[in-house]
Amino acid sequence: MNQKLSNAQIAWRAAQDIEDGAYVNLGIGFPEMVARFQPPGREAIFHTENGVLGFGRAPEPGQEDWDLINAGKKAITLKPGTAFFHHADSFAMVRGGHLDVAILGAYEVAETGDLANWSTGPKGVPAVGGAMDLVHGAKRVAVITDHVTKKGQPKLVERCTLPLTGVGCVTRVYSSFAVVDIEGGRFVLREKLPSLSMEELQNATGAKLHVEGAVGDLICPEELADA
Amino acid sequence: MNQKLSNAQIAWRAAQDIEDGAYVNLGIGFPEMVARFQPPGREAIFHTENGVLGFGRAPEPGQEDWDLINAGKKAITLKPGTAFFHHADSFAMVRGGHLDVAILGAYEVAETGDLANWSTGPKGVPAVGGAMDLVHGAKRVAVITDHVTKKGQPKLVERCTLPLTGVGCVTRVYSSFAVVDIEGGRFVLREKLPSLSMEELQNATGAKLHVEGAVGDLICPEELADA
Amino acid sequence: MDKRLSSLSEAVTDIQDGATVMIGGFGGSGAPIELIHALIDRYLETGSPKGLTVINNNAGNGHVGIAAMIEQGMVAKMICSFPRSADPTVFTQAYLAGEIELELVPQGTLAERIRAGGAGIPGFFTPTSVGTDLAEGKPVQQFDGRDYVMERWLKADHALIKAELGDSLGNLTYRMAARNFSPLMAMAAAKTVVQVTKAVEPGAIDPEVIVTPGIFVDALVEVANPAQEEELNRAGAHHP
Amino acid sequence: MDKRLSSLSEAVTDIQDGATVMIGGFGGSGAPIELIHALIDRYLETGSPKGLTVINNNAGNGHVGIAAMIEQGMVAKMICSFPRSADPTVFTQAYLAGEIELELVPQGTLAERIRAGGAGIPGFFTPTSVGTDLAEGKPVQQFDGRDYVMERWLKADHALIKAELGDSLGNLTYRMAARNFSPLMAMAAAKTVVQVTKAVEPGAIDPEVIVTPGIFVDALVEVANPAQEEELNRAGAHHP
């Protein structure tokens, strides 16, 4: 069971479900990678909560303008149609249901749709950013994540043990092993790595994986395997 | 008792209390006239709730641009420093306590500071506009009004009989006879027409006029008497 | 993705009977006359849409725009702050005859309720209207010793607004005081359709001066040289 | 009326011990470095102001700006959404040592609470944080079958922000993503002081593109070629 998708492959798979013209917010860190893999012929419009809509790719090193950054404080660029606005308008977009998709990272996702991704407990400095707004704002909240922790513990669980970001908010998980929908308080398996048996996948998952209809093969570009 | 100030004289008197640089909203109709009488060397900045701050005087007839109007739907003009904004920002200015003065008309003002100026009762079509926001937003709410109705009934009263615009909101009344402050639920006379006796003034007033210290002479430019 | 439509009739085709429609404008400034008239024309041809709830600061003036909608009997209810105007006879007659319902809302509360609808805020507290007839039946709560009224968000099925420049992504600018409620309504409606005086390509509007970002706009149609309601009324115009 | 000041020291002279201060910026974009450093310089000279409550999205980075304020011991409490950064050691050490208080607020709630403070809205309802630790102790109310948390406005004694153009009446524009919280903070503080990259005369800014109208601004000071926090930190700068 050492086969798994790379982060780039997970991000690629998540990008396949983003429609042309969709308004999308990508969480800071790993989810930002999704923007690299827009399918040909489709153009999503990316929102960053610090007040930019429709921005372009990262600038070349040395070309950064540090007044033009994303929520992860990374430099971005303009493209035709970019708009600036203040933070209250930005979160009106989020909370008001104007985003089509938010893609976030996770410490844990429960079969109830609960998400924990902001705090690993009382130690250290807590930081929440815009995650709690995003999970209750976007029309569709998806998670991209390794299927298990570095120690091999399931990240898809019955109930979250870490402090929650939101209750019943996630509807799809793109993991390093599978694509799983959350429907009616249950994990429903949609796609899995062909190399994994159902038993192996279930053993790596902290709650029951339901099967309804066909389970597709989760196949991502090989050239992203090392990315 | 047929001597009284003209509307222009009342507006002139109210204008004398507006400080240089004050942010001022003038109610639609009669209060708009206050803008004409800014004392030399002072410049107030006028706000209209439909989204313009720091506008200029009325345009010459024929020069109107009907996209540039005030709350009374009268044409206004730009001047250096004018700003446009939407209605939510405009009422953030009002409700958020950013206006120094609002000057409004009145059907009735009570010694409690209650104001009635939006509805004459259940007949006809009610219309409130921004009056209810203004009375609870501006740092100082003043009223300009005839001292009595056309039928000679007092407009300064113990308790309003008409539907209220706001409770305990007015602090000064500029009338055709007097300048009256509202303090601690009482009318306190500050200035009166020299030609009126205290008894005449009290008889024209629907609640007790208190005197604390000197009562000044209410003297306005003669040339405005017929304006 | 290109949000531009080629005709006014296409822009108003999916408004259903009984829908709630926000219409931009304060008096005549910002009134999307051509969109409104296209909607009236559709009603005259097809009998739909009718039974509408219309949200605007006013209730029409003269015999064009919202007044003409009321005159045709398309409007069941107005939500507004100031249904008086220089020539409000159409609304006044319908109202006094009991043919149209009125929800009167203080102007700042109206603006904030619409913004709240767009911003996902289902309720908020305001000092406006405390102790008056317009607060009747609404919850009152004290904060720091002062009373406030709780008001609910306002949303709509459709918004019809007018803007100055609009690019194909829906980014908008407005013209002077014609801005008023339109940026708020664009946020609060499930579907926002805009008549723009000039349609441009993305990038033609400086990102710093965009007032309504395209995420709030579903479709736009160019109407060069739009009619100004005030000028129509001064000329005694009727629609149709 | 001319709101322009001639020096940075004059701009920060009336901030008292224990004051609540909103500081613009998201990370380094929009951080009013020169105003902050002038405040630190005043503290180093006079011992005041100290015991401050600072409201910002973050809690400083490196050893300049807000991080330098914390490093000098001027800050009793941070209200922010994200006190982590590339180099947040100053806040982290003070926090873990119990020397600074933290009120953690979701970013959208922080923005809306500041706007509410500026707009005279003492409380509002949001779905954000429902069912989480950050909603603990806050009233929950149901609207249309969904739970919402009631949040209170945030106001401040002072706001220190950075803008691009500013005229003598206080009308402002911003630069790209440096806009972020600053227009909201300008509304919510009793006294708003702005460092502008270029001071201009009234009329030099198109009325359509003004982001913060002058009514929200009390004073401004020109700082041409302002430092960018991110660049300072990449260069390993310290203040003082």
Q: Which of D128, D184, D208 to mutate to test the interface with C (most CBs of C within 10 A)?
A: D208
Asked if the model's pLDDT at residue A3 lies above 90, the reply is no
Local confidence band at B120 (pLDDT 50, 70, 90 cut-offs): confident
Q: Mean pLDDT in chain B?
A: 95
**Which pLDDT tens digit goes with each residue over D151-202?**
999 999 999 999 999 999 999 999 999 999 999 999 999 999 999 999 999 9
- Using CB atoms within 10 A of its CB, is residue D149 exposed (0-12), middle (13-18) or buried (19+)? buried
Residue A227 lies in a domain: no
Asked if the model's pLDDT at residue C200 lies above 60, the reply is yes
Give the E-state strand segments of chain C in sequence order: 20-23, 52-55, 75-80, 101-104, 123-126, 140-143, 146-152, 156-167, 189-200, 219-222
Q: Which long-range contacts (CB under 8 A, 24 or more apart) does A149-152 make?
A: A152/A204
CA Rg value for chain B: 17
Residue B65 lies in a domain: yes
Give the E-state strand segments of chain A in sequence order: 23-26, 45-48, 52-53, 83-84, 101-104, 108-110, 115-116, 140-145, 156-157, 172-175, 178-183, 186-192, 209-217
Query: Which residues are paired to A115 by β-bridges?
Result: A109, A166
- Residue D1 confidence (pLDDT): 82
Q: Of C195, C185, C238, C234, whose CA–CA distance to C85 is shortest?
A: C234
Structure tokens that stand for A210 in this block: 């339901």
Query: Which residues are paired to D21 by β-bridges?
Result: D54, D158
Residue B147 lies in a domain: yes
C-beta of residue C38 within 8 angstroms of C-beta of residue C62: no
Q: State pTM to two decimals.
A: 0.98
Q: Do A45 and C169 touch (CB under 8 A)?
A: yes
Q: Which residues of chain D have pLDDT under 50?
A: none
SS3 C17: coil
Backbone angles phi, psi at C7, to 5 degrees: -145, 155
- Residue A120 confidence (pLDDT): 87
Structure tokens that stand for A167 in this block: 């209750």
Rounded mean pLDDT, C229-234: 95
Q: Do D214 and B98 touch (CB under 8 A)?
A: no
Residue A201 lies in a domain: yes
ipTM of the complex: 0.97
Structural domains of chain A, count: 1
Local confidence band at A1 (pLDDT 50, 70, 90 cut-offs): very low
Cβ contacts of residue C194 below 8 Å, gap of 6+?
C32, C161, C162, C163, C166, C170, C172, C186, C217, C219, C220, C221
Q: Which chains touch A (3 or more CB pairs under 8 A)?
A: C, D
CATH number for the domain spanning B207: value is: 3.40.1080.10
Q: Of A133, A138, A114, A145, whose CA–CA distance to A14 is shortest?
A: A145
Per-residue b or e along C58-96, where b marks 16 or more CB atoms closer than 10 Å to that residue's CB: bbbbbbbbbbbbbbbebbeebbbbbbbbeebebbbebbe
Asked if the model's pLDDT at residue C82 lies above 80, the reply is yes
Alpha-helical segments (H) within chain C: 8-11, 33-46, 65-71, 89-96, 107-119, 182-188, 229-234
Residue A2 lies in a domain: no
Half-sphere exposure of A149 (CA within 13 A, CB side): 11
Q: Do A127 and D84 touch (CB under 8 A)?
A: yes
Local confidence band at B1 (pLDDT 50, 70, 90 cut-offs): very low
Residue B2 lies in a domain: no
Contacts of A78 in chain C (CB under 8 A): 207
For residue D87, CA distances in Å to C23, D92, D102, D233 come to: 49, 9, 18, 9
- Residue A112 confidence (pLDDT): 98
Identity of the amino acid at A2: N
Percentage of the residues of chain B whose pLDDT score is greater than 90:
95
- Using CB atoms within 10 A of its CB, is residue A77 exposed (0-12), middle (13-18) or buried (19+)? middle
Q: Do B95 and C127 touch (CB under 8 A)?
A: yes
Half-sphere exposure of D231 (CA within 13 A, CB side): 15
Structure tokens that stand for A20 in this block: 């042309």
Q: Mean pLDDT in chain D?
A: 97
In whole angstroms, what is the distance from residue A77 CA to residue A82 CA? 9
Sorted by where each starts, the structural domains of chain C and their CATH numbers stand as 8-122+155-224 (3.40.1080.10)
According to DSSP, the β-strands at B156-157 and B186-192 are unpaired
Q: How many CB atoms lie within 10 A of CB D24?
A: 30
Structural domain including A212 reads: 7-221
In whole angstroms, what is the distance from residue C38 CA to residue A98 CA? 27
Q: Do B66 and C29 touch (CB under 8 A)?
A: yes
Determine if the peptide bond prior to C183 is cis (ω within 30°): no
- Residue B189 confidence (pLDDT): 98
Q: Do D176 and C207 touch (CB under 8 A)?
A: yes
Local confidence band at C134 (pLDDT 50, 70, 90 cut-offs): very high
Identity of the amino acid at A173: V
- Residue D91 confidence (pLDDT): 96
What is the DSSP-derived secondary structure letter of residue D192? E
Structure tokens that stand for B170 in this block: 């007015």
Q: How many angstroms away from the CA of A53 is the closest CA of chain D?
A: 10
Contacts of B126 in chain C (CB under 8 A): 83, 102, 104
Residue A226 lies in a domain: no
Residue of D nearest to B21 (CA): D1
CA Rg value for chain C: 18
Q: Which of A19, A32, A49, A212 is catalytic?
A: A49
In whole angstroms, what is the distance from residue D197 CA to residue D222 CA? 6
C-beta of residue C27 within 8 angstroms of C-beta of residue C162: no
Per-residue b or e along C99-114, where b marks 16 or more CB atoms closer than 10 Å to that residue's CB: ebebebbbbbbbbbbb
Contacts of C78 in chain B (CB under 8 A): none
**Which pLDDT tens digit goes with each residue over B197-222?**
999 999 999 999 999 999 999 999 99
Determine if the peptide bond prior to D202 is cis (ω within 30°): no
Asked if the model's pLDDT at residue A2 lies above 70, the reply is no
Residue B227 lies in a domain: no
Percentage of the residues of chain D whose pLDDT score is greater than 70:
100
C-beta of residue D171 within 8 angstroms of C-beta of residue D200: no
Asked if the model's pLDDT at residue B47 lies above 90, the reply is yes
Backbone angles phi, psi at D150, to 5 degrees: -90, 130
Q: Of D187, D172, D216, D166, whose CA–CA distance to D5 is shortest?
A: D166
CA Rg value for chain D: 18
Q: How many angstroms away from the CA of D104 is the closest CA of chain A?
A: 7
What is the DSSP-derived secondary structure letter of residue C38? H
- Residue C84 confidence (pLDDT): 83
Rounded mean pLDDT, B130-155: 96
Element (H, E) at D89: helix D89-96
Interface residues of chain B, partner chain C, Cβ below 8 Å: 48-52, 65-69, 73, 84-88, 90-91, 94-95, 119, 124-133, 136-137, 163-167
Q: Of A159, A174, A108, A104, whose CA–CA distance to A133 is shortest?
A: A104
Length of chain A: 227
Q: How many CB atoms lie within 10 A of CB D2?
A: 13
- Using CB atoms within 10 A of its CB, is residue B210 exposed (0-12), middle (13-18) or buried (19+)? middle
Q: Of A163, A194, A166, whose CA–CA distance to A178 is shortest?
A: A194
Q: How many angstroms away from the CA of B205 is the closest CA of chain C?
A: 24
Q: Mean pLDDT in chain C?
A: 97
CB pairs < 8 Å spanning B and D:
65
**Which pLDDT tens digit goes with each residue over C138-194?**
999 999 999 999 999 999 999 999 999 999 999 999 999 999 999 999 999 999 999
